[in-house]
Amino acid sequence: MIKTLAKNIKEFKGASIATPIFMILEVVMEMLIPLITAKIIDEGISGGKISSVWIYGGIMILCALISLLVGYMGGKYGAKASAGFAKNLRSAMYRNIQTYSFANIDKFSTAGLITRLTTDVTNVQNAYQMILRICVRAPISLITAMIMAFTINAKIAKIYLYAIVILAVVLAIIIKCVMKYFSQVFEKYDKLNESIQENVSAVRVVKAYVREDYEKDKFAKASENIRKMFTKAESIIALNGPVMQISAYSCMILVSWFGAKLIVGSKGIEMTTGDLTSMFMYCGNILMSLMMISMIFVMISMSMASARRICEVLNEQSTIHNPVEPVYEVPNGSVEFKNVSFKYNDTAQANIIDNVSFKVKSGETIGIIGATGSSKSSLVNLISRLYDASNGSVLVGGIDVKNYDMDSLRNQVSVVLQKNVLFSGTILDNLRWGNPDASEEECRKACQLACADEFIEKMPKKYETYIEQGGSNVSGGQKQRLCIARALLKKPKILILDDSTSAVDTATDAKIRNAFATEIPDTTKFIIAQRISSIQSADRIIVMNEGRIDAIGTHDELVKNNEIYSEVYTSQTKGSGDFDEGGNS
């Protein structure tokens, strides 16, 4: 885990090395001050030498100024290193997420990924800054102060040693109790983020069903769970303060008692007043160092859970890879499935697609129809390698898709997914997702093919009209047509429309299909639909049933020979049924 995280320090290694050096210099300056104080008391005040007060006083001021300067530099470089480390972690996670296949993405919830990119990274950033600064400063300060204290008087210094042992035991118990709560709290954060995400993204549904109070209660419960978990953890951590205070005051009382007896008993030979003053100052340094160390352990304990979650994202490897010697050119749009079976993960008991075989010539239009859950979308997702087949082979242009460079393959296979997504920006910005170099004229042409120009030209700013996040300011049908136009701009050899005209009226649907037939005849087209009218003019139609091909043929052939297809055709022409439920005449 540490190795995985350390890879992302990169260009901030210099700042990460400079910070501990400045912290060490700060500790050295601070440890000299008690010794100088003892000299001022013994030589200047007790000895009556005012010159010694001025000399040692000047040295003390110089040490304090140096300590202030190097402390500031340590803080500056520590902030730079930790903020840069956090930036690199977020970038590395985001880049790795972009390489994920759909199978990888299915392992993580959206809310979980957001928490890891925000809260978890912030926790690791804070912990890293503490490690660079306090984790270096506190132990060195503790060790140096102990050495100085033993140098002054070993008998009195043993008091600090006993205090350290007792505090270490108490601290270990506190950390052990706190760790389990911090490990669980970030799962609660995922639930909270998930609640927010669902509410915001589905706000129209929430308001339509008047479920605001339900969503408020759901959020309140998630927030309350986090509060309870943190309260339990913080209640245990709060014990650290009283234990430290008791230790500090106990040490001061014992040092005062035994130190005074030693000074009086030896008449200042074994220990002087200046030495006792130094011991008090070192007592403060030792206990403050212990307090810092306890804070470090608490922060590291909390960040360990975050670090593990970050490493899960960083170490997740895509299930789909480029071959060693990939093919970069897709010869044509022919598609062949050879005994293809597919399941979403290895632990699944049954295949989603089972032993499917068929051939499609380049330029053919293939309709795919079937009941909900018959694996229509899963089938076409294998063509562009959004998923890989579990068994069998999928060939595009006569070559197995696993032998292609993924970017080259996907640039030649345009997919308009079932869930249409637009991004915030102008209409042209969204269209150019399909082809960043497309001219405005090319965009207009694509929109004409998708019948999107009909509504774009009526808008005041036309192609410069701003699309809100998620396309919330355009209708479902308009969104579908823009997504189709975006896919056409790629000028693909294969075009897949996954139920992409469901929100479009039948007249516009017919116009789009006619435009495809006349304008892009060489492009292989797969059209998934619930309406038979959307695919009846296709060269062939595949009828899917529970992950298998029930029949393949033309519309006329299937009406005559396939029971499932003919029943749905009858229901849709005589009634209002679709593929999932027959209509009544």
Residue 46: pLDDT band by 50, 70, 90 thresholds? low
pLDDT digits (tens, 9 = 90+) for 522-539: 889 898 888 888 888 888
pLDDT digits (tens, 9 = 90+) for 450-488: 888 888 888 888 888 888 877 777 787 888 888 888 888
Q: DSSP 3-state assignment of 131?
A: helix
Query: Distance between CA atoms of 310 and 142, rounded to whole angstroms?
Result: 33
Structural domain contains residue 325: no
Query: Structure pTM?
Result: 0.67
Same domain as 340, residue 310: no
Q: DSSP 3-state assignment of 278?
A: helix
Structural domain contains residue 323: no
Could you write out the DSSP letters of every residue in 25-94? HHHHHHHHHHHHHHHIIIIIIIS--HHHHHHHHHHHHHHHHHHHHHHHHHHHHHHHHHHHHHHHHHHHHH
115 token code pair:
């928490």
Q: What percent of the chain has pLDDT over 70?
A: 95
Question: Which domain covers residue 44, as residue numbers?
Answer: 2-315
415 token code pair:
């997919």
Query: What is the CATH classification number for the domain harbouring 309?
Result: 1.20.1560.10
Structural domain contains residue 250: yes
Task: Judge whether residue 364 has pLDDT over 70.
Answer: yes
Mean pLDDT, all residues of the chain = 82
Query: Distance between CA atoms of 353 and 310, rounded to whole angstroms?
Result: 34
Domain boundary among 282, 315, 348: 315
Instruction: Tell me which DSSP letter residue 469 carries.
Output: G
pLDDT digits (tens, 9 = 90+) for 397-440: 889 989 988 888 888 888 887 777 788 888 888 888 878 888 88
Q: Which whole-number Å values give the CA distances from 147 to 140, 160, 298, 367, in the listed order?
A: 10, 11, 27, 83
Q: DSSP 3-state assignment of 179?
A: helix
Same domain as 208, residue 79: yes
Q: What is the dihedral of CA 139, 141, 147, 151, to 10 degrees?
A: -170
267 token code pair:
């008449």
Same domain as 302, residue 350: no
Structural domain contains residue 322: no
pLDDT digits (tens, 9 = 90+) for 95-152: 888 888 777 777 777 777 888 888 888 888 888 888 888 888 888 888 888 888 888 8
Structural domain contains residue 34: yes
Structural domain contains residue 330: no
Query: Distance between CA atoms of 114 and 423, rounded to whole angstroms?
Result: 18
